[in-house]
Amino acid sequence: MWFRQTTGEYRSGVGDSNRSEFRALAHTGAPIGLLAFDTDTDADATDAEAVGWVALAPRGDYSRLERAQVARPIDPDEDLTGVWSVTCFFVHRKARGGGVAAQLLDAAVRWAADRGARTVEGYPVDTDGERRTSSDLYHGTLRMFVDAGFELVDRRGTRRALVRRTVP
């Protein structure tokens, strides 16, 4: 709920309240993101374990992006209709290093395109080849986004970037 709320709203709802609000949002059918499952070929698909998550929605659904320096558009008058945002990833520690986040990003682009997105954007971390902790990488890495066909639109400080990919 972090990207969907103001700081005050988020803090007042930390824990059960925000979880309940997120669950209710999911039940409305609103776009909130995608899950990755570990589908062991010997297991029943209904027993598959979730190993990853990507948050994805139309940019306008994320009120925090309006105030975030890393997400500000290059042109303040730009029409952001049809722009979807990838705001964060989570990959279970047992599944890290196996390409789960990259697969989630590819699926997110296809899923957004199927729902009318014209552009998908992200706000990744530029690791510049350095190892980083998972808590530093929840926005994804610049390398992963570039490898997925995103273009670097602008550097945001020394470690962050605005990237976009036009979808058919």
Quick one: pLDDT at residue 43?
57
Which pLDDT score, from 0 to 100, does residue 23 have? Answer: 81
**Domain parsing of the chain, residue ranges:** 1-30, 31-166
Residue 6: its pLDDT value, please? Answer: 67
pLDDT of 124 above 70: yes
pLDDT for 45 equals 62
Name the burial class of residue 96, with classes exposed (0-12), middle (13-18) and buried (19+) by CB atoms within 10 angstroms of its CB: middle
Query: When comparing pLDDT for 65 and 105, which is higher?
Result: 105
Average pLDDT on 97-122 reads: 96
| CB of 131 closer than 8 Å to CB of 148 | no
Pick the range with the lowest mean pLDDT from 3-17, 103-117, 142-156: 3-17
Between 124 and 26, the more confident residue is 124
pLDDT confidence of residue 26: 80
Q: Which amino acid is at 117?
A: A
Report pLDDT digits (tens) over 29-59: 888 899 999 876 555 666 788 999 999 999 9
Quick one: pLDDT at residue 147? 97
Most confident range (mean pLDDT) of 38-47, 129-138, 151-160 is 151-160
What distances in angstroms separate CA 38 from CA 43, 88, 148, one per listed residue? 10, 19, 21
Q: pTM of the prediction?
A: 0.86
Q: How far is CA 106 from the centre of its chain?
A: 11
The string of pLDDT tens digits covering residues 47-100 is 788 999 999 999 988 888 888 888 888 888 888 999 999 999 999 988 888 899
Which residue in the block uniquely carries the two structure tokens 């990838």? 86
Q: What is the CATH number of domain 31-166?
A: 3.40.630.30
